[in-house]
Amino acid sequence: MNQDSYQAMLAIVQSFHDKHDFKKYGGEDLVYRVALMAEELGEISTCVTKGKSNENLAEESADLLILLIGTAISANFDLNQSFWKKMEKLGKRQSRTVNGTIRVSEFLGVDK
């Protein structure tokens, strides 16, 4: 299996869940997983705001990706399919500069 493929990442995260029996011991509880993702976002924020190395940022980002893939396993949805569907939707949106920063959103109910 190609190590750079989503299927390879999904398989290794599934193996990790199985190894530690996440399903039996609460590791696949969605509320718990959201809390873990919030924790990882905090660690990513610390990397950026405290000027930590790109290596630290990469590791924390990998932690978040692993949690996202694991959440897809836990909630039984196809993250790969969801990613491509969302990118197609995003590709049709217009961008706008808001307070000096580019945003790509639906901008519902907001005048241009």
Q: How confident is the model at residue 61 (pLDDT cuts 50, 70, 90)?
A: very high
Read off the pLDDT of residues 91-104 as tens digits, 9 standing for 90 and up.
999 999 999 999 99
Same domain, 101 and 61: no
Which residues fall within 8 angstroms of residue 73, CB to CB, at 6 or more apart?
10, 13, 14, 17, 28
3-state secondary structure of 96: strand
10 pLDDT higher than 60: yes
90 and 40 inside one domain: no
Pair 47, 22 in one domain: yes
Radius of gyration of the chain (CA): 17
Domain that holds residue 102: 86-112
- Decide if 1 is inside a domain: no
Given the DSSP bridges, would you call strands 95-98 and 101-104 parallel, antiparallel or unpaired? antiparallel
